[in-house]
Structures are given as C-alpha cells and as structure tokens.
C-alpha cells in the first residue's frame, strides 16, 4: 500500500462548502471593509460585526488559515488580495458578486443533483419567478448588481485593452455592457477610440453615471436595446463578454450572426468568457461556471476556445484567434 497517497485533496474538495460559506459570510458582514481603516483585535472585530463571542475567534482564525486575513500581535488585517478586491467602494470590488452568490446561488447549488437529472434550472424559475425581472425593477439593487459585474470583469477588461490591436480601429461597442466597465478601460487606454455600450434601457443611468465619473462622456455613449429583438449598433469592433454562455447553441449562433451583420467589412468581434480549455480538464472555474449555467438558465453552457472558433467561423468570421486574458478568462476574436 502506498502510504504517500492520502484522501486529503478529496476531503478538501468534498468539504469545500465550509470554506466557501466562511468567505461568503465574511463578505456579507462587511468584515474586509471594516478592516480597511485599521487592524482590529478579535473582541473589537466581533463587537462591531455583531458576532457572538463563542466562535468569533474560530471564524477569524479560519479566515487567516484560508489566506484571507493576516494576524499580527493579535490584530487582524486584510491581505493584499482582500484589501484590493473585497473592500466595498473600491474599483475592483468583487464582493457584490459574492454577496449575490451567498444570497442566491449557494442554496440553489444544493439542488445540483436534480439539475443534472432533469436538465432544468434550479433557481427562482422552479417557483415561477424570474430573478432578472425583479432585479431590473429595483433601481438600487440593479445598480449594486451592475457595479459588481464591473468588479468581476475589470481584470479581463484591462487585458483586452492591452492585448487587442485597437490601433487598427476607431469605434467599438460593448454588447451587454452593464455599468460600462469594459468601454471605460478600453477608452482610457486608447484616446483615439470612441464608442460605448449596449444594454437594456433601464441600465442607461447607471452606465452614464459611471462613464461621467471617469470623464469619458464625450467619447462613450449608451445604446439602448434588447440584443434578441433589436438590431445591434454599428461599430468597427463589437465585444460580447459573459454573454454567450447564458444561451443555448441556437441562441449563441443567432447572436454571433447578428454581430457579423452589424460589423463593417474588416470589423472585429471579441468574445470573452471563462473559456474552457480544449481538453476540458484544466479550467475548473470554466467547467463549474457551465454547471452554474445549468442552475441558472434553461439552456446556457460554457464552451471551449475551439467551440467558439467553430461557431464564429460558421457564421462568416475569419482570421480567428484565441488569447488568454487573466485567471480563468480568455477571448476569441475574428474579422468580418
């Protein structure tokens, strides 16, 4: 018997919900935001967060062991990562997405077995409700959600601004733009470009506020519409980020066809997502995101770079390339 083989990795994955929920609750309570101003000892931290003393120290020390907090002389403080990404109000804050995951996705994933057996969503749709209908009807909640999308996508947006050959183009539009995180990063990096973002009309004030706060209102504008029922706006470059994975194959191909039709000859389409590696064995986040599409959508799924290239080629794109962006994110782009 090989005594070097242990069940440690299996147990870590199998009980991974322990660490996930510990992080999600810390974000929910605003722990990392509280520590932005100064380090705090366990008693003070527990009092300010409203945590009972029984397990407060275990909670904080578990976050230390998970690499999410540091402890020096019994004072707790953020790590470089949590200071940058989990303090509310900062540009790269991803906690908004984690708050949504805590409130919605965490309980829904408890029904993964039923999702796999039925192929049906396991979210609000099971009760005849629609999360996005309720979300878009609440302006404050929508603003928070759209801001969280910026935090989630900001790394990929900066990478696209740096890696795509923008010098060859003059205009661009981000399809499904949310708050406008990608257009802002691209415009900041390339002063010769103008364009904007396309999304549902209710998103306009959130987009315009964010663009104005970055001093880009003269170069970036909002285009209102529904990418299923309306034509896409015309620009030299169109971008679809975290869009295609929401839809089934026919819908994916329809969106790609609409993008091809909206582009001028020589124009480009950029698609980015947590694109799965072609061997489907390395990008665990992308594969788990595809399972999340099972939980959240009637037909959505994530895909490999080879899949995306094949689909884009089938609707007419050529000179197709794939490039890694950051973390689990990659882009595929092609020319009309």
As annotated, the active-site residues are: 245
For 272, phi and psi rounded to 5 degrees?
A: -135, 145
């Amino acid at each position: 018997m090989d005594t070097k083989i242990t069940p440690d990795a299996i147990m870590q994955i199998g009980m991974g919900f322990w660490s996930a929920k510990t992080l999600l609750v810390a974000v929910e309570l605003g722990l990392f935001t509280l520590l932005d101003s100064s380090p705090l000892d366990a008693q003070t931290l527990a009092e300010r967060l409203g945590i009972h003393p029984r397990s407060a120290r275990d909670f904080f020390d578990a976050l230390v062991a998970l690499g999410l907090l540091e402890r020096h002389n019994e004072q707790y403080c953020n790590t470089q990562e949590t200071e940058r990404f989990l303090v509310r109000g900062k540009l790269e804050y991803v906690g908004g997405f984690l708050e949504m995951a805590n409130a919605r996705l965490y309980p829904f994933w408890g029904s993964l077995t039923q999702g796999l057996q039925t192929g049906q969503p396991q979210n609000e749709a099971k009760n005849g409700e629609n999360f996005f209908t309720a979300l878009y009807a609440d302006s404050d909640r929508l603003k928070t959600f759209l801001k969280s999308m910026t935090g989630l996508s900001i790394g990929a947006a900066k990478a696209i601004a740096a890696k795509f050959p923008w010098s060859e183009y003059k205009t661009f539009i981000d399809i499904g733009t949310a708050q406008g995180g990608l257009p802002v990063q691209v415009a900041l990096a390339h002063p010769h470009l103008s364009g904007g973002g396309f999304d549902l009309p209710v998103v306009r004030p959130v987009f315009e506020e964010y663009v104005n706060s970055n001093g880009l209102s003269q170069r970036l504008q909002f285009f209102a519409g529904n990418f299923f029922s309306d034509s896409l706006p015309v620009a030299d470059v169109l971008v679809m980020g975290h869009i295609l994975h929401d839809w089934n194959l026919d819908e994916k191909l329809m969106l790609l066809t609409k993008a091809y039709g909206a582009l001028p000859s020589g124009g480009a389409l950029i698609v980015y997502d947590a694109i799965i590696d072609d061997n489907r064995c390395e990008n665990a986040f992308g594969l788990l995101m595809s399972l999340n599409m099972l939980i959240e959508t009637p037909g959505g799924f994530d895909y490999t770079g080879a899949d995306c290239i094949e689909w884009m080629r089938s609707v007419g794109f050529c000179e197709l390339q794939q490039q890694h962006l950051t973390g689990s994110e990659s882009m595929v782009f092609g020319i009309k």
